[in-house]
């Protein structure tokens, strides 16, 4: 069976299984992951090491979330990986037994075993050959679980350290499978540019809608920008031109790009809802502060349009992470510069409206919410050289309960006070999958 036949089989099987296969204890994960019901037990925080703080290394920090635990709301484990790699994003394998994470600077990939003892992950494997394996891709970013493999988005390349990049696939054993370069105007690879879209070849996030055989990727910037001091970059005219302005539609099982949409201003996270008839996704643009809808129209063609402002775009609040509730009715949007989270009513995805906002702190980045929508978690770090300076450089994981009207603080962990570093991406852990 070749890859195309296997992909078609996976799509058919997922459709037959119905929507329940897609559910998980945390929203916005790969739809190939199994459902875990009930209360999340742990949260794993992929954390950037800071020079002169603690052991100075990147690390996976485990926090206890078990309701009856005397350690609830406290760090119960910290596993350092050696050096500072610009720890950034990570994702579970499709069976949730392993947590893959990456370093945007060193290009190292760390695979943690989170099933043997979910309260104390262990380092299972380190991949040192990402750039060589992939044929020059730099900056492993999003880790998106597929059946038997992991799809990884790159942010850059080792030729000019710009935004030209690719998707890179490994199997679950950590062996390289293939590289799929993003389409460019000089190499569209069969894709069609929609309207005035210019295929820039940039990458960032990846998400899929299995029953429609749709995969979407977004675009950000290359190594030369994301490793630069943020203030310096803002004053560099050439650097500010080096941001992506596209979202690409792919054929999920053949890995072929189909359309390139014009989405100006560095579209970052992509999120699909869970409903069986919800044929759309949301993204936000970091530089233009817009909420975008990528949707299937009445003729079955996919389109993209901006549907709302996030704060005042003139202030450049810098939208970062987003999270759709499990009932598809609301969307949390974090903005880094003003430290706010905003909640949008997306019951009509073509006409979202903001219904709530709260300042989390002087900066905020990632947001994760529980499947029941009652608990929302926030972390702080964007990039080592982009985080704010001085007293504004706050690093934390903060938990809230959501009563439908207000975020009520539950607990707050100060990562600097504990000497841990800069808290970036979070993922929920549970022992249920491995003991049931």
Q: Among positive and negative, which fits the CA dihedral 216, 221, 223, 228?
A: negative
Q: Which residues contact 14 (CB under 8 A, 6 or more apart)?
A: 21, 22, 31, 32, 210, 211
SS3 string of the chain?
CCHHHHHHHHHHHHHHHCHHHHCCCECCCCCCCCCCCCCCCEEEEEEECCCCCCCCCCEEEEEECCCCCCCCCCEEEEEECCCCCCEEEEEECCCCCEEEEEECCCCCEEEEECCCCCCCCEEEEEECCHHHHHCCEECCCCEEEECCEEEEECCEECCCCCCCCEEEEEECCCCEEEEEECCECCECCCCEECCCCCCECCCCCEEEEHHHCEEEECCCCCHHHHCCCHHHHHCCHHHHCCCCCEEEEEECCCCEEEEEEECCCCEEEEECCCCCCCCEEEEEECCCCEEEEEEECCCCCEEEEEEEECCCHHHCCCEEEEEECCCCCEEEEEECCCCEEEEEECCCCCCCEEEEEEECCCCCCCEEEECCCCEEEEECCCCCCCCCCHHHCCCEEEEEEECCCCEEEEEEEECCCCCCCEEEEEEEECCHHHHC
Q: How far apart (Å, rounded) are the C-alpha atoms in residues 427 and 234?
A: 31
CATH of the domain at 411: 2.130.10.10
In which domain, by residue range, is 337 found? 3-435
Which pLDDT belongs to residue 15?
38
Q: How far apart (Å, rounded) are the C-alpha atoms in residues 319 and 220?
A: 13
> What integer is the mean pLDDT of 8-31?
50
* pLDDT, tens digit (0-9, with 9 covering 90-100), for 131-169: 999 999 999 999 999 999 999 999 999 999 999 999 999
Q: How far apart (Å, rounded) are the C-alpha atoms in residues 47 and 30?
A: 22
Is the confidence at residue 24, as pLDDT, over 90? no
Query: How many CA atoms lie less than 13 Å away from 23 in the CB half-sphere?
Result: 18
Which tokens in the block code for residue 99?
């947590």
256-262 and 192-193 strand pairing: parallel
Which tokens in the block code for residue 259?
């359309």
Angle at 208 (CA atoms; ends 202, 211), nearest 5 degrees: 145
* pLDDT, tens digit (0-9, with 9 covering 90-100), for 50-85: 999 999 999 999 999 999 999 999 999 999 999 999
CA distances from 128 to 87, 102, 345, 385, 425 (A): 14, 11, 43, 23, 21
Is the confidence at residue 21, as pLDDT, over 90? no
Which pLDDT belongs to residue 240?
97
* pLDDT, tens digit (0-9, with 9 covering 90-100), for 327-380: 999 999 999 999 999 999 999 999 999 999 999 999 999 999 998 899 999 999
317 close to 337: Cβ distance less than 8 angstroms: yes
Which pLDDT belongs to residue 34?
79
Which pLDDT belongs to residue 371?
87
Which pLDDT belongs to residue 27?
77
* pLDDT, tens digit (0-9, with 9 covering 90-100), for 188-237: 999 999 999 999 999 999 999 999 999 999 999 999 999 999 999 999 99
Which tokens in the block code for residue 5?
């036949």
Is the confidence at residue 16, as pLDDT, over 50? no
Is the confidence at residue 408, as pLDDT, over 70? yes
Mean pLDDT of the chain: 93
Considering its fold, how many domains does the chain have in total? 1
392 close to 363: Cβ distance less than 8 angstroms: yes
Number of neighbouring beta carbons within 10 Å of residue 228: 18
Beta bridge partners of 323: 332
Is the confidence at residue 39, as pLDDT, over 70? yes
């Amino acid at each position: 069976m070749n890859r195309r036949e296997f992909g078609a089989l996976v799509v058919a099987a997922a459709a037959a299984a119905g929507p329940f296969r897609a559910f998980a204890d945390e929203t916005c994960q790969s739809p190939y992951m199994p459902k875990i019901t009930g209360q999340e037990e742990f949260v794993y925080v992929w954390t950037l090491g800071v020079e002169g703080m603690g052991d100075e290394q990147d690390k996976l920090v485990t926090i206890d979330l078990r309701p009856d635990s005397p350690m609830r709301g406290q760090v119960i484990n910290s596993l350092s990986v050696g050096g500072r790699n610009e720890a950034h994003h990570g994702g579970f394998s499709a069976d949730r037994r392993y947590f893959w994470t990456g370093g945007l600077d060193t290009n190292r990939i760390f695979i943690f075993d989170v099933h043997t003892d979910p309260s104390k992950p262990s380092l299972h494997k380190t991949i040192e050959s990402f750039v060589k394996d992939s044929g020059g891709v730099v900056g492993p970013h999003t880790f998106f679980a597929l059946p038997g493999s992991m799809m990884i988005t790159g942010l850059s390349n080792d030729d000019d350290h710009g935004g030209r990049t690719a998707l890179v696939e490994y199997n679950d054993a950590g062996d390289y499978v293939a590289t799929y370069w993003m389409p460019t105007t000089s190499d569209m690879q069969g894709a069609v540019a929609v309207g005035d879209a210019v295929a820039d070849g940039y990458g960032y996030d990846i998400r899929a809608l299995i029953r429609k055989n749709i995969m979407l990727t977004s675009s950000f910037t290359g190594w030369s920008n994301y490793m630069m001091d943020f203030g310096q970059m803002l004053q560099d005219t050439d650097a500010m031109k080096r941001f992506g302005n596209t979202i690409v539609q792919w054929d999920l099982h053949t890995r072929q790009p189909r359309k390139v949409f014009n989405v100006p201003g560095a579209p970052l996270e992509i999120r699909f809802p869970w409903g069986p008839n919800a044929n759309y996704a949301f993204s936000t643009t970091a530089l233009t502060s817009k909420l975008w809808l990528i949707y299937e129209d009445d003729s079955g063609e996919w389109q993209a349009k901006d549907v709302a402002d996030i704060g005042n775009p003139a202030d450049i609040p810098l939208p970062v992470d987003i999270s759709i509730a499990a009932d598809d009715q609301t969307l949390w949007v974090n903005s880094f510069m003003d430290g706010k989270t905003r909640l949008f009513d997306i019951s009509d995805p073509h006409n979202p409206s903001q219904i709530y906002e709260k300042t989390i702190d002087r900066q905020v980045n990632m947001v994760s919410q529980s499947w029941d929508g009652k608990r929302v978690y926030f972390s702080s770090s964007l990039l080592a050289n982009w985080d704010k300076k001085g007293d504004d450089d706050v690093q934390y994981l903060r938990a809230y309960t959501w009563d439908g009207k207000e975020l009520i603080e539950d607990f707050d962990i100060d990562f600097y006070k504990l000497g841990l570093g800069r808290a970036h991406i979070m993922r929920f852990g549970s022992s249920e999958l491995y003991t049931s």
